Amino acid sequence: MEGESPALKANLTEWRFNQYPKYILLPIDENHEQNRSSLKNIIFSEVIPRPLERNIRLVGASEDALTNILDMDPDITNREEFLEFIIGRKLPYGALPVAHRYGGHQYGLWVGQLGDGRAHILGEYVNRKGERWQIQLKGSGQTPYARTHDGRSVLRSSIRELVASEACYHLGIPTTRAAALVVSDDFVLRDMYYTGCPRRERAAILLRLSPSWFRFGSMEILAKTGEISVLRQFAEFTIKEYFPDIHGTDENRFIRLFSEVAHRSLDLVAKWQGMGFAHGLLNTDNMSLLGLTLDYGPFGFVDSYDGGFVPNCCDGEGRYALAKQPDVTETFLMKIGLKEERWGDEQLVEKLLDMMQQTGADFTSTFRQLSELEPSEMVSETKLEEKWALKRLSMHSSWGCWLDQYRERLDKEAVDASSLGMFEDERRRRMLSVNPVYVPRNWLIHEAILDAEMNNFDKVRYLLEVMRRPYEVQAEAERRGFSAQPPQWAYALKISCSS
């Protein structure tokens, strides 16, 4: 019928890449034998994925990414050809596999050329909404940029990225996406905590999606090595394809590009802070030019609030601690139900975070439970007994004083409302819309990984399902304790940057 959207594709014969990906306009090295040290004046290297071989199994898939980005019927995941697509053995029509060259500052030091050492951009897909997406495999074999490892990803880190990237999307955090994950019985050696005791882990491949995989380091490498003509070509391409509000004839277009990238990055960090998320490895090779959360490594959602929270066990100096990511007070005003910033609001927010840190109150559940009670109920021992995170916070000696200040501040906004009742309803609606019930806590992902290593993928798939609706209370998730106080062992979990 007229006006109907095209049907979702049920097989890979019907599904195909755009015949000419836009990145074909940038310099691509076609010499497959060239090593990374001699590469120059290129943006990509053409390289074919190396498929996994032994006993391939689907760990999980994002129905939303499949249907709303790739126009695929979710049942396609049951087909053998879909698994062959993810492992890189069967590439759809229009594929042009490349690895991206970039550099980076890591822990504050320039480390030179890096690049996609185990990832292949397969091609571009323009979906039924007219959106252009680059499809990438992560863990699909060595490229000219591979360093000391074998071009593979392991199951544990791949599960973390699958769950976290989809959760971040549904939480409202700009992010790359993950469509599906497969695991094999091919083994790789990894020293998870860099103790000199590597162990065998199973190799996995993640199907990732992004409008672009360009990073800060994509430009840095060209500037550092004096490849100015390629840098200009790359910058012009980036402006034309991803920043349409910047006119190509604007003599200040490169300054405007820098400003736009900076503002998108600040907005991203504000969203991270509002969810208690710390990236853990915020190097310039992991920062997207489009302001997207990119390359989930040792990330973490903070449990007991601590401004010094460091999700990466390799970050001994706390360089990427939560509190070292820029403070953005607006973000927290929304979380406590305020619409506009007034004098004294910054101190109100800072005092709340300080009390949370001193009492070890849970970040996510404190803000959610503040959303669920009226201010007058927050002094009731009976009500607080039902709210485990607020109960802990209320043990602080300044709780009553802060609550008086909070109620006084709310009263100032209520004056502008037609009735106090309507204002309170609006406050709660506003807070419930920005304070989730569920985030992918490390202990939840850890349990899912343990089961997945025994070939039981149910917890991975259930986590994906719950995180599709993180702001809604879900009966089964409550039964499983997803919003309850984390178990004591969860606070001792360490996340490595080894993957």
Is residue 306 flagged as an active site residue? no
List, in sequence order, every residue forming a beta bridge with 125; answer none if it has no partner.
133
Cα separation values, 310 from 67, 291, 489, Å: 35, 22, 17
d(CA 400, CA 217): 49
Half-sphere exposure of 100 (CA within 13 A, CB side): 25
With beta carbons less than 8 A apart as the criterion, state whether 184 and 202 touch: yes
- Scan for tokens 């020293």, then name that residue: 191
d(CA 386, CA 394): 13
Residues 299-323: b if buried by 16+ CB within 10 A, e if exposed? bbbbbbbbeebbbbbbbeeeebbbb
Active-site option among 29, 71, 73, 285: 285
With beta carbons less than 8 A apart as the criterion, state whether 440 and 463 touch: yes
**Residues annotated catalytic, as ranges:** 285
